[in-house]
Amino acid sequence: MHQRLQRFNASKGCSEPIDLTGSKLTFNIYKPTVPLDVVLTHNQTGEERRFSIDITREQANALEALSSEAEKQAFVRKLLKQSQR
């Protein structure tokens, strides 16, 4: 994979390569995540707790593919247990 860093030159109206000769570059690689908003409701008091956890795109796709609410809740419970580790 090749990358070319460029800068837009407004006077010429086009992008031009940036010379990185002698530069020290650093970068991070990470696995993209999707925020999953969770609302927990206490059955007796109705009190709610709201928070988010980050899940992978694959986990989000698997959650979206589930058809019943019970399956989705079980899947989210599993994700919550995994996120506590």
pLDDT digit string, tens, across residues 43-70: 999 999 999 999 999 999 999 999 999 9
**Nearest by Cα to 38 from 57, 63, 20:** 63
Per residue in 17-42, pLDDT (tens digit) is 999 899 998 888 888 899 999 998 99
- For 44-57, give the DSSP string: TT--EEEEEEEEEH
pLDDT score of 4: 82
Residue at 82: amino acid letter: Q
Distance CA 34, CA 36 (A): 6
Single pTM value for the model: 0.56
pLDDT at 20: 87
Q: How far apart are CA 33 and CA 1, in angstroms?
A: 23
Q: Would you place residue 82 in the very low, low, confident or very high pLDDT band (cuts 50, 70, 90)?
A: confident
CB atoms within 10 A of CB 25: 7
